[in-house]
Structure 1
């Protein structure tokens, strides 16, 4: 039986984990602030539907930034060789699961901070309603899902620089497909995760989108875990 507890506790004490999540949160907050300022200056604070448009733009942004953070959580240590030492200390399965869980936990916290900042700023600028726990939950869940997605892809790619381009591309891919493929794009992970977050933020049940996104995460994470257990670490 795999016990990731010791590896998870060790990972949660890593300074880079929280520094990386803080950097990703700061990047997302900076870009979100630019969107808020641009939206209110061009459309006006009282424009109908502005809050929905801002949410439509910010959720994929948080998903992308979190995915990059998740991929770097694996590839940075793998490139430096420190992840190999963790495998020697905790064995493969606990090391992988501990890193994945700690990455998701850090992203969850960063997403909650982003959600709080977005809700507070939107309320102050009067482009949305009052700050709600559901809004914070939507951002936190989006960040956690994005981090797990990026971590799984990063463990499969293993190359730090390749992940920097491939992981954001995997999140943006549905939007790059032709319009004729629009019905197909609704089944992609980024679309499902974003749909769940946007609906959850306004208290609309979205169990189908959540189950679809969770199914993608389970599939990709299981593939990454299987490959990691059997693949050479060199």
Structure 2
């Protein structure tokens, strides 16, 4: 995560050209979108690791002895989401402050900070759901990022259907939010995907053997 913050700070410092209330330039917007995309992927990987590491060390098994399966699953999902929201907000602040400190051009934007926090929270839940299904620490390192980049890579082949997939929906929604507007259709689609993935992962966790 420290590497993620450093990468975003450098990106903002290099490309910051926004001054006060002036409109965001194309370069700034591209950097912001790239930063949010990186935030989504990093948070998803960390979210998947939060399950797989606990499963490998049998922390989940010990929690289930004390609580029910459902409580253990939801409690871990909630804790990683809260941690991701806080981390995402910190990354968003660093992203804004970096240009201010280096070039006196970038400024901290509340919508952008909230967008980083939202992207981190959503990404952590997406990764947590996939990690709970895979249950393999090493495999999730490849599967989770692939689930986020594959729809964009196949956009030309999928056509308009690509716009209905989770990564594109959540990216479209959060990018617009960071720029001061909200796309409710993208938000609803992203939430639907997230609810289905978490619901499916929760059901599988309740029914599946823990060995």
Normalising by structure 2, what TM-score?
Answer: 0.90
Q: How many residue pairs are counted as aligned between the two chains?
A: 206
Report matched runs for 1:28-67 at 5 Å: 28-39=4-15, 48-67=25-44
The equivalent residue for 1:142 is 119
Q: 1:126, 1:133 → 2: CA distance?
A: 18
The equivalent residue for 2:96 is 119
The verdict on how the C-alpha distance between 1:193 and 1:36 changes in structure 2, with shifts beyond 3 A counting, is same
Report matched runs for 1:87-98 at 5 Å: 87-98=64-75
Q: Does 1:206 align with 2:206?
A: no
Q: 1:136, 1:106 → 2: CA distance?
A: 15
Q: Could you tell me whether the CA contact under 8 Å between 2:166 and 2:189 is conserved in 1?
A: yes
- Is the deviation greater in 170-179 or in 155-164? 170-179
Report matched runs for 1:47-196 at 5 Å: 48-124=25-101, 125=103, 128=106, 130-177=107-154, 179-196=156-173
Q: Could you tell me whether the CA contact under 8 Å between 2:47 and 2:127 is conserved in 1?
A: yes
Q: Unpaired segments of 5 or more residues in structure 2?
A: none
Q: 1:75, 1:159 → 2: CA distance?
A: 6
Q: Unpaired segments of 5 or more residues in structure 1?
A: 1-23
Cα shift at 1:132: 2.2
Normalising by structure 1, what TM-score?
Answer: 0.82
